Amino acid sequence: THTNSWGNNGGYGQYNSDSRDVDDRTNTYDRYYSGGDGMTVLFAAGNDGPDPDTVSPPATAKNAVTVGMHQNRYQGAPDYIMQGSSRGPLDDGRIKPDILAPGGYVWSCRAQEATDTGGASGRTTWYLEYTGTSMATPNAAGAAAMIREYLEEIALRDSPQGALVKGLLILGAEDVGSRDIPNNNEGWGRVNLRNSLAPPDGQGVWVDDRSLLSATGNSKSYTFDIDQAGDQFKAVLTWSDEAASTWSSTQLVNNLNLEVTDPNGLTYLGNDFANGRSTTGGSADSLNNVEVVLIDSAMIGTWTVNVIDANHGGSRGQPFSLAVMGHGINDLKPDLATVEDGFSIDIAIPSVGQETQLTCVVENSGNIRSDPFVVNFEVDGVVIDTQSLELSGGSQRTLVWTWTPQNAGANTISFIIDKTDSVIETLETNNRQDIIINISQPGIAITSAQPVQPLEDAEQTSTTWQIELTNTGLLSTNASIAESALTFVEDGAELNWYVGLSGSQYELMGSESVSLTVTVVHPQSPAPGTYRIALSATDLDNSITTSLDLDLLVDEIPDVGLETDYDIIPVSPIEPTMVPIYVYNYGNTEIAYDLQVQPPNGWEAYFVQDFTESPFATSDSIEVDSFDTLQMIIKPPSVVPNSGLQSSLTVSINSVTDPVVNWLIDVPIEVEAVKSVEIRTNTPLVNLLPNSEFVAVFNIENKGNLAVKLSPTFNLPQGVQVISSAGSVDLEIGESELYLVTFQLSRSAASGPAVLHMDNGSDRFTWTENFDIEIFPLPSLQFKKVIFPENQEYTVSFYGTGSHPAGSELRFVWELTNDADIEWQPVVTALSDPQLSVACDTPTMIGYQQSTELSCTVFTSSEAVPFSEPSFVLKFAGSGADYSETFSLYIGGYEEISWSDLTSNSFKEGEAKEIQVLVTNTGTLPFNHLISGTASEDWNVEVIGDGIVNLAVGESRTVKLLVTPNTDGFSDITLTFTSLPDVESATYIFSANADKQTAQSTAFGLPFAQIGIIAILMLLLLGVFVVLTRSKPPNQPLPIMPRPQVPLVNQPLIP
């Protein structure tokens, strides 16, 4: 193995004298027939990538293994091609590099004298890390050396060609990245030594480097039996080509082609690849001296590999190497086998006790020497002798054995290699050879192919045996044969049955046989048991007698009969017909029978056993000449058959014996004449309402096989009568007609059965079904009372005193009565206008003409519009009731005010002061009234303005007052709308305080006495004005129910 990591001398892609020198050396060393030891030469591809055409000589040599590099470690390893790895193609188009090996970031030993280490990417005292094809090539060289060692020391192949080592490197190479080999980046992929020598999927490897082709058109063919499908099959053809001229445009001298044909006849050409695998339809390669066929999923069968000399341009024969990988291929293991034509025996027909000598040949068709193994010599499975040996690859050994036969007749001789499978071989199925040897012995033999004859046919009255009388010796002899009387083995009794023998005296040559016939005549179905004839034959010349027993074996012999009560069974055309079937046993012993019935087309037929219908049945075990009764039911087809129609059932009967005997028996049937009418209706006859009419639609169908004319009559429940119908009906066979009947139900109609008779002469066909007539509750409602707030009850009028107040809770009570003859649990639902909310108690169940109290609470909204009439509906349900009643309320209005925001209640004696208070209409009616003010002491209270307060609902207004205290101290001031005497909120009272005046004061320049007189006069005038202007209440037809208000008193002092 010669590895080279040179620098770049230029001349990319060229084939120069250095390249030519490499090819010349390798070609010479691979000529095994001239004593060449084989040489593998490896060259670094160079570090000038990634551009194409960057491989420089001598790496451009054809026979060299040109090595590119892939990353050795770190991210991307190992399936990353280093950028610097030089790429092909070469100038003449050849593929380079051949393979990739680890070259990126490779640690190697450091020479201590090395000084130029600047290019190292890592360093220690003893190691340097470099990247380059110069690191990859020694790695590939190590793999090549291990392959050569394996071939020489394990496979025992001397001096393997360098081309074979190159071919095995390529055989195991793995595609890098996407499937695209071969290419000029990686050649055939990165080195994988495991794949090259021991493929992990279990394929074997087969090699040949001892073949050559010497002229154009010569070829060599190989066949391989692939025994497992689904894995790769790969073939690599390599050869060390003769050196070429440096001036030639192509450097290939001897053009060899690789062709592989699969079991289906599909042929693949070397280097015709697509997507990293072999394809078809391409051309043969005429540039490269490496050709590959790769099949991803090989099929089972015989594959043929052809190596063809397509153009022999050299002057000498061209050696080549072939490496093949696949399942079932010799994978460099031994393969021990017997050679079929290697057996011999010194005596063609030995006799018992005569010593004979035998030979066999074993060979090792594998490529390596076997471990020691044992060969067994056996006769009829018994070990006679053993021999131990070992064999080199491709060698044979002849083994000699001595044997004295002990048994006459056919003896099986077996030679078995490595019976314990101690040697691992390519195939374990070719380690045995069996030969049959016939051994002779003097005497006469009587044989019969069937010495025991079973009697199975109940009608059989004779039985015959064929026998052979044979001279077992090798010399001629005279022989005789005779028979004994027939005996019944079970009790030893001799029977007087006729026994005949076709011959008795013979002269027989050596090993000669004659055929004879033995016949016995017997009654039908003899009793079960064994009947025996004893034969004896004598070798008269050697006084040797032999015997043979012939047995007539009588087992259960079934025989069956089938009978019915009729010659022809009458069957109904519309109804199932039940008939008894009698199964008779005419056999020779007690026997049971399995039956299966096959009816005519459209019919059904079943046996009835244990109340189960089935086309299959099994009889009881039946005594001889006795019977068992089975019930059979016969069902007519859906289309009514004509009367008098004849057909037959087929009954298949199997005896419950071994062997089974079968009979097919026809049972005739005939269709009877039958009148049958079916009356049905889909009209609902439930929930019928009294005092109504309904139409029932009847379907009347003639189900019989005779025409009919039908006249109707009715029997109906109380209160139900027919008011219209279609009259009589004429129906042919299979016809049907819709028959409409109108029924009237009176108010007093009651549920009960309804009957419709359709009469045809004396035949009557009847329909009966129940009329279910509904009864519903009949509710009525009678007002009892209404309860107003504060428990005011009114029984005379629904409106009480005349109206219903807004914002109140009212309770109404009625008497609820049921006038129908049915128990009724009322279900009450209230529906109301938005201004009302209604909730009713659940009434109790009431019977016929019974009553119960119904109480409902009605809430009137405080926002209900005065004088409006909202309503609510009471709906009654349950037990089919559907009743409702509507009630209207009349909403009354009320006046109400509120007081707030008093501005002051503090005064000074004798001084007039204006104060204000806010009045708000909180009632439901517009407000228009006159306000007045008074004081409990001698104070003057005057309303500023006309005193009339006019407010819409919810509106507020400020009332202004002028207050003049005539005395000091406290006084209650009262503000009142005098026209609202019944409204509590119409009065507003607050306490006021007046401070004492320290000196005599005047108001408006008058003394207090004059002021008092003027005030009295003004009050009198104001009183008259109030009386004259007092507002009258609205003319309301209904009373107003005011909301209670408490007068405001004891107010705190407000400055």
Asked whether the predicted pLDDT for residue 1050 surpasses 80, the reply is no
Same-domain status, 279 and 166: yes
Residue with tokens 């050697």: 542
Query: Is residue 459 situated within a structural domain?
Result: yes
Dihedral, CA atoms, 905, 910, 911, 915, nearest 10 degrees? 30
Residue 368's pLDDT is 60
Mean pLDDT computed over 439-465: 89
3-class DSSP state of 1009: helix
Same domain, 321 and 357: no
pLDDT value of residue 366: 61
Please give the mean pLDDT across all residues of the chain.
88
Strand-pair category, 452-455 with 544-554: parallel
Name which residue leads in pLDDT, 133 or 1032. 133
Q: Are residues 813 and 913 in the same domain?
A: no
Indicate the pLDDT class of residue 150, thresholds 50, 70 and 90.
confident
- Contact status, residue 558 vs residue 657, Cβ threshold 8 Å: yes
Residue 1045 counted as domain residue = no
Instruction: Classify 160 as helix, strand or coil.
Output: coil
Beta bridge partners of 258: 307
Q: Do residues 700 and 651 both lie within one domain?
A: no
Question: In this structure, is residue 1049 part of a structural domain?
Answer: no
> In the structure encoding, which two tokens stand for residue 311, read together?
């153009």
Are residues 424 and 297 both part of a single domain? no
Lowest mean pLDDT among 40-44, 601-605, 661-665, 936-940: 936-940
**CATH number of the CATH domain containing 193:** 2.60.120.380
Q: Supply the CATH number for residue 740's domain.
A: 2.60.40.10
Q: Is residue 1043 part of a domain?
A: no
Least confidently predicted of 171-175, 1016-1020, 1043-1047: 1043-1047
Task: Report the Cα 464 to chain-centroid distance in Å.
Answer: 63
Query: Is residue 152 located within the same domain as residue 15?
Result: yes
pLDDT in tens, 184-231: 999 999 999 989 987 888 788 999 999 999 999 999 999 999 989 999
Same domain (yes/no): 939, 971:
yes
Q: Per residue in 519-563, pLDDT tens?
A: 999 988 888 999 999 999 998 988 889 999 999 999 888 999 999
Q: By mean pLDDT, which of 52-66, 769-783, 1000-1014 is the weakest?
A: 1000-1014
Of 852, 877, 892, which marks where a domain is finished? 892
Domain assignment present for residue 1046? The answer is no
Spatial separation of the C-alpha atoms in residues 403 and 380, rounded to whole Å: 13
Which residue range forms the structural domain that includes residue 934? 897-1029
Are 157 and 263 in a shared domain?
yes
Domain match, 685 and 820 both: no
Q: What is the pLDDT of residues 239-289, one digit of tens each?
A: 999 999 999 999 999 999 999 999 999 999 999 999 999 999 999 999 999
By CB atoms closer than 10 A (0-12, 13-18, 19+), residue 510 is middle
Strand partners, 358: 345, 401
Give the CA count within 13 Å in the CB-facing half-sphere of 455.
29
What confidence tens digit (pLDDT) does each residue in 395-450 have?
A: 789 999 999 999 888 899 999 999 998 888 767 888 999 999 988 778 888 999 99
Q: Do 428 and 307 share a domain, yes or no?
A: no
Domain count, the chain: 7
Residue 894 has pLDDT above 90, yes or no: no
Please state, as a whole number, how many other Cβ atoms lie within 10 Å of the Cβ of residue 317. 17
Strand order in the sheet with 708-715: 729-731, 708-715, 752-760, 763-771
Quick one: 709 and 851 in the same domain? no
Q: Which of the listed residues 439, 463, 495 is the one where a domain comes to its end?
A: 439
Distance CA 817, CA 533 (A): 110
pLDDT at 1013 over 80: no
Domain end (from 641, 671, 701): 671
Kindly state the greatest CA–CA separation across the chain: 198
Residue 1001 pLDDT > 60? no
Q: What pLDDT shows up at residue 1037?
A: 34
> Are the C-beta atoms of residues 139 and 191 closer than 8 Å to each other?
yes
Q: Find, among 420, 324, 426, the residue nearest to 366 by Cα.
A: 426
Question: How confident is the model over 164-175, as a mean pLDDT?
Answer: 97
Mean pLDDT of 360-372: 79
Q: Is the dihedral of CA 727, 728, 730, 735 positive or negative?
A: positive
- pLDDT of residue 1010 exceeding 70, the answer is no
Residue 1038 lies in a domain: no
Burial 513-551 (b: 16+ CB within 10 A, else e): ebebebebebeebbeeeebbbebebbbbbbebebebebb
In tens, the pLDDT along 785-816 reads 999 888 888 887 777 667 888 888 999 999 99
Residue 954: the pLDDT is 83
pLDDT at 831 over 50: yes
**Same structural domain, 741 and 809:** no
Band the pLDDT of 982: cuts 50, 70, 90.
low
> Under a CB-based contact definition with an 8 Å cutoff, are residues 293 and 324 in contact?
no
Indicate whether 1035 belongs to any domain.
no
Q: 231-257 burial, b if ≥16 CB within 10 A, otherwise e?
A: bbbbbbbbbbbbbbeeeeebbbbbbbb
As a whole number, mean pLDDT of residues 753-772 equals 94
